[in-house]
Amino acid sequence: MDSSRKSRISRIGIVIIAAILVETLSIIQYQRVREMLEEELEIRSHLILDAMAQEIEHLLELSETTLSENLWDVKRSMVHPDSTFFAMRRMIDDNPLVVGGCLAFAPDYYPSKGRLFEPYASKKGDGTIEIQQIAGPDHDYTQNTEFLWVMEHKTPSWTDPYLYGPDSLSFTTYSYPILDDEGRVEAVCGLDVDLSWLGDTLNTHQPYPSSFGLLVTQEGSLVAGPSPSRTPPSEVKQVLSILEGSLPESANPDIFMRVTSLTKEPCWQLVEVNKTDEVFGRMRRMRHQQMLFFLLVLAILAFMINRYARNEKKLRLASEEQARIGGELAVAREIQLEMLPKSFPADIYGSLESAREVGGDLYDFYRRDGKLFFCIGDVSGKGVPAAMLMSVIHSLFRVLSQKTESPSPILKSLNEELCRGNNSNMFVTFFVGCLDLYTGKLHFANAGHDKPFLLEESATLLPTQANLPLGVFPDTEFEEQACVLSPGSTLFLYTDGLTEARNKAHELFGRTRVQDVLTACLTDKEMTPEALIHAIGDAAHRFVGDAPQSDDLTMMAIRFAPGDVIMEQLTLVNKMDEVARLTTFVKSFCEKLALDRNLASSLRLALEETVVNVISYAYPQGETGSIFVYADSDRKEVRFTIVDAGVAFDPTTTLLADTTLDVQNRPIGGLGILLTRKLMDSVSYCRKSNKNVLSLTKTIL
């Protein structure tokens, strides 16, 4: 929990840092682009300015040319003052850019015209030219600085541009001194040149709709600017004020301006005014959009990383879980295999191959009282549920078969247990057998399992009643059957994993093939159960080939090979003096087996104590009853079986006498049973057909 929160915080931190980085990058990019744009604007201003300078120079030259070309005409007209009007008219008519021309005579040049005389020709709006004399008390050109300057220096001069007229149009005036032969200034000829078109030219191709360009003199007076319809004059005025220095540069933050100067006369400055928003607004908006986009991508990325991290964690947990389950299954498999018999006597062999880690098949066998108890079973289904049920059945079989020698009640009890609370509707096919290893008598009962094969002269199916499987109906009866195996015969049991093994063509291995392999094995009379199982297993595997194993495969083979068996029988009545006969019987039996004195003595004592007990207590006082004593041995083990029809009594469950008490507290009785149980390897009791059957066994090898 804590570490997951930590990692989430670190993920959020990474996202925030990434966002900051993106923002920083975007700002840097914006600044760079802005700088580039500004450079671009500057280059553009230079270009315009150069073009303008050329235009202006050209224009000025043109005007100068106009004047010099018409100078002879003017000079000639000066013979008569009135003819100068016409000379001026002709002059301005000669050049469309010249809107007016004046000829300011030196004072008192024409005595007839008074002190001041200045003929003036000007173009009207309709293109006609008006001529008039403009000197007078309200227009004393001798006060004009330009006039005075030219008079004094006797060289031509251009005035600074000025605004004039009702439309405040921009003009400049070229003043030219007309000298007499002695070099005195007779008059100053002035040509008014219209500069207002400069403003139009300047503002025709502005990069942005509200950008505008201004031409100003070095002193800051306006030469040309945009028309009032294009730009409000207040804006122009504001820019001029900023240039002049009477307004701070930050007076209007919405505009920014670049000033470029002409490097040669008249050294005017070009001011490019742009609206910040117009120039950089789009870029800024673009930047914001880009930022938004980046942030969105980042958010999606963060979300994806988060999801990925979470999924990865889930995946890791799942794989850990899987590994854990795998480990547990491996342990479960160990446990399950551990429960199966591990060591096989020469005459028994079993094998189990699970289709999965754990399986629903089972085989088991154990020897008790000279009898072999065995079973084979198959739980419907596979995997863990089947395995769990199988374990239960295995344990139950071990417990139940301790109490009886009859397969039928074992199946009945198993069935009742399985039907109790069997909600998963699983069922089990099961075969239980009990083989007397001395007599070859086989008792068996079947619960829906495949019939075993019996290998004697030929391989045939053991005639077996099918019955219902375990776990179907609680009141099912399982018929017990019996037969006697001939020495050397083999019982072969298997689960349907063998007969239903499939190859890639989905063909079944089948019972016939099993029978064929078994028949082939009969030719070798010495073949062990282990070799037999391997032969069949190999045949099945060859048949299946590469096809995956679909079901658990379990086989078990039991050979009845009694060898050199000694079997003796004695019948007694319940009288104490019969003990002498019993002694003779045991002694002779032990002699046949050539047992040493100590062992013979132990066997005699155990049997005597048991039989004395039966004589004393089995039958009611005064009632005569028989006691059957069987002594069997295969020279490896001795088995005594004592059968009586008396009252049920299980000596294996009584408490043993305490052998640690002091003399006075020692009970007189109870020592017989104690001795029997201590002297023999096993003492087992069962009640069978209203008889007490007590088996005593001891290994003698």
Partner 1 sequence: MTTTIQETDTQIIAILSGELDTAVAQETEKALMPLLNSKGKDILIDCTELEYISSSGLRILLGILKQAKSVGSRVVLKNVNDVIHDVLNLTGFMSIFEFE
Binding site for partner 1 (CB under 8 A): 576-577, 579-580, 583, 597-598, 601-602, 604-605, 608-609, 612, 657-664, 666, 668-669, 671-672, 674-675, 678-679
Give the H/E segment covering residue 576: none
Task: Supply the DSSP string of 297-322, one letter for each residue.
Answer: HHHHHHHHHHHHHHHHHHHHHHHHHH
Q: How far is the CB of 522 from partner 1 (least distance, A)?
A: 49
The helix or strand, by DSSP H or E, that contains position 571, with its residue range, turns out to be strand 566-573
Of residues 479 and 591, the one with the C-beta less far from partner 1:
591
Half-sphere exposure of 220 (CA within 13 A, CB side): 11
Q: Which is nearer to partner 1, 152 or 658 (CB)?
A: 658
Residue closer to partner 1 by CB (options 163, 593) is: 593
Measuring CA to CA, which residue among 169, 188, 184, 161 is closest to residue 101?
Answer: 188
- In the bound complex, what is the minimum distance in angstroms from residue 578's beta carbon to partner 1? 9
Could you say which DSSP state residue 470 is in? Answer: B
- Report the C-alpha gap between 119 and 87 in whole angstroms: 10
| Least distance from partner 1 to the Cβ atom of residue 644, Å | 17
Residue 605 CB, nearest distance to partner 1 (Å)? 6
Q: How far apart are CA 38 and CA 221, in angstroms?
A: 25
Residue 218 amino acid letter: Q
- Write the Ramachandran bin of 594: left for phi over 0, alpha for psi from -120 to 50, otherwise beta: left
Q: Tell me the CA end-to-end span of the chain in Å, nearest whole number.
A: 66
- The three-class DSSP label of residue 165 is coil
Q: Where are the beta strands (DSSP E) in 329-461?
A: 348-353, 361-368, 371-379, 428-436, 441-447, 453-455, 459-461
Q: Which is nearer to partner 1, 305 or 576 (CB)?
A: 576
Q: Measured from the CB atom, is 1 or 580 closer to partner 1?
A: 580
Nearer residue to partner 1 within complex by CB, 419 or 674: 674
What is the enclosing helix (H) or strand (E) of 661? none
The CB-of-611 to partner 1 minimum distance in angstroms stands at 9
Do 413 and 401 contact (CB within 8 A), yes or no?
no
Closer CB to partner 1, 623 or 662, in the complex: 662
Over its C-alpha atoms, the chain yields an Rg (Å, rounded) of 66
Q: Residue 353's beta-bridge partner residues?
A: 553
| Shortest reach from residue 568's CB to partner 1, in Å | 19
Task: Tell me the closest approach of the beta carbon of residue 487 to partner 1, in angstroms.
Answer: 36
Which C-beta is closer to partner 1: that of 454 or that of 675?
Answer: 675
Output the smallest distance, CB 608 to partner 1, in A: 5
Question: Hey, is 67 helix, strand or coil?
Answer: helix
Neighbours of 544 (CB within 10 A): 18
Q: How far is the CB of 672 from partner 1 (least distance, A)?
A: 4
Name 115's Cβ contacts closer than 8 Å, sequence gap at least 6. Answer: 107, 108
Measured from the CB atom, is 252 or 613 closer to partner 1?
613
Alpha-carbon distances, residue 246 vs 200, 241, 243, 268, 539 (angstroms): 27, 5, 8, 20, 113
* Nearest to partner 1 of 384, 671 (CB atom): 671
Report, in Å, the least distance between residue 668 CB and partner 1: 5
